[in-house]
Amino acid sequence: MAKPPSNRNKATSAAKSDSNPPANSANEDISQQENPALATINVTAVEVPELTEQEISDRLHLERKVERAFFEAGKALMELRDRRLYRSTHKTFEEYCRDRFSYTHRHVNYLIAGCLIVDNIKMGTNSSQNESQDEMGTNSSQILPTSEVQVRPLAKLEPQQQPEAWQQAVEKAEGKVPSGRIVKDVVQQIMERTKVPNTYQIGEVCQILAKDNPELRGKGGCWGIVNHVGEFSCTVKTWNGEYTVGLQHLKSYNYLPAECEQMRVICDRVNRVYSSGLEESVQRFLESLGKLNRAYLTDLEAKVLSFLESEVKVS
């Protein structure tokens, strides 16, 4: 008589059947885990609330502060310099700016010159518009520079030309704040339209006019000998080196040829002594010779210069 199938075997078979899912199902699960493209990502939508009128006002006010940062810095530096508010801790303004702000001498000059140019732009625009001004002193529709780099090219123009040049740059930028490159292109076009032929000659003695040009700071009033004539500038040799100066920053002394030659000799002598690296007091004397407004040395000046030449063994 045949025995009935064992229940134990049935249970074991069922367990084996349940613990081993079909091969296709297992492959699908693994495939979904390994393929990110098949993964489901739940994204929660977040509603961004609109700005209130007060927030809009705050944003505009803060943006204006950022835009005016270099302008305010230039104004503050100019007042610190003019009132000599650094004198309790530093001998010179240059040392003060370097220690307090880590600003180089050139960067400080650029900031100060930039704020003066912005003032010119504001005055030029305001005089041609009849719009109400905000608390910053600017028209609501006025586009102002946001960086010193944008106004640096304008230093080559006369103050009365700067507002017009800036407005042209804004128009080229389609009503936005123009880049420094756009401003430079506009300035170049204006200079080409209004250029005056360079009439300076090699060997001519000229005075350097440093007004509105931070790169010439400290050189105002110095005389130099023209040794290269360009289209828009001249290279001049002064008591302490050579500088390329725009025509608008030069003024001829109209010396006679013999006087020009005499000044050339003086310039070479002073430059050689200066290059020897003597102490600061001597350099101050040489600097005073570099700002003479006459084509000769006095007897005492000549004696002192000759003594200095003998000290440094200048042949």
User: Is the domain of 118 the same as that of 168?
Assistant: yes
In which region does residue 84 sit, left (phi positive, over 0), alpha (psi from -120 to 50) or beta (all else)? Answer: left
**Residues 144-177 as b or e (16 or more Cβ within 10 Å = b):** bbbebbbbbbbbbbebebbbbbbbbbbeeeeeeb
Domain that holds residue 92: 56-129+142-192
pLDDT score of 156 more than 90: no
Q: What is the largest CA-CA distance in the chain?
A: 150
pLDDT score of 145 more than 90: yes
User: Is the domain of 153 the same as that of 236?
Assistant: no
- The verdict on residue 241 lying in a domain is yes
The whole-number pLDDT of residue 130 equals: 46
User: Is the domain of 69 the same as that of 161?
Assistant: yes
User: Is the domain of 186 the same as that of 234?
Assistant: no
User: Is the domain of 262 the same as that of 165?
Assistant: no
User: Is the domain of 214 the same as that of 186?
Assistant: no
User: Is the domain of 109 the same as that of 219?
Assistant: no
User: Is the domain of 99 the same as that of 224?
Assistant: no
- The verdict on residue 28 lying in a domain is no
Q: Express as a percent the part of the chain with pLDDT over 90.
A: 38
User: Is the domain of 218 the same as that of 294?
Assistant: yes
- The verdict on residue 173 lying in a domain is yes
Q: Using one digit for the tens of pLDDT, what is the confidence trace for 72-97?
A: 999 999 999 889 899 999 988 889 99
The whole-number pLDDT of residue 163 equals: 94
Phi, psi of 93 (to 5 degrees): -65, -35
Contacts of 184 (CB under 8 A, 6+ apart): 153
State how many domains the chain has: 2
- The verdict on residue 240 lying in a domain is yes
- The verdict on residue 37 lying in a domain is no
Interatomic CA distance for residues 51 and 43, integer angstroms: 24
User: Is the domain of 69 the same as that of 173?
Assistant: yes
User: Is the domain of 146 the same as that of 102?
Assistant: yes
